[in-house]
């Protein structure tokens, strides 16, 4: 869904090195909500993800790959 490049970067990225803002985390959260709403429409999910900015796709991919990361990223963005 995210593509090989994003998945590769997400798999090796350290959340501590990312420039996370509250705005970015809001967009990632909105993205996760949208993907859930589109869960029965995989083609629409692909289209939606392909239109997201790279940083949103990257963090959203990391979030989906590691559900515990969501709390860590959200907390870091708020500090």
pLDDT tens figures, 9-56:
888 877 777 778 889 889 999 999 999 999 999 999 999 999 999 999
The total number of structural domains that make up the chain:
1
* pLDDT at position 73: 63
**pTM beyond 0.85, yes or no:** no
* pLDDT at position 57: 94
What domain range includes position 41? 4-78
* pLDDT at position 77: 62
C-alpha distances (whole Å) from 69 to each of 44, 46, 50, 53 are 25, 22, 22, 20
What does the pLDDT look like over 42-53, one tens digit per residue? 999 999 999 999
């Amino acid at each position: 869904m995210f593509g090989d490049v994003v998945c590769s970067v997400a798999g090796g990225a350290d959340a501590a090195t990312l420039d996370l803002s509250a705005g970015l985390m809001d967009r990632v959260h909105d993205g996760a909500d949208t993907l859930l709403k589109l869960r029965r429409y995989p083609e629409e999910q692909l289209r939606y993800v392909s239109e997201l900015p790279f940083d949103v796709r990257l963090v959203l991919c990391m979030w989906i790959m590691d559900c515990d990361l969501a709390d860590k990223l959200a907390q870091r963005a708020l500090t």
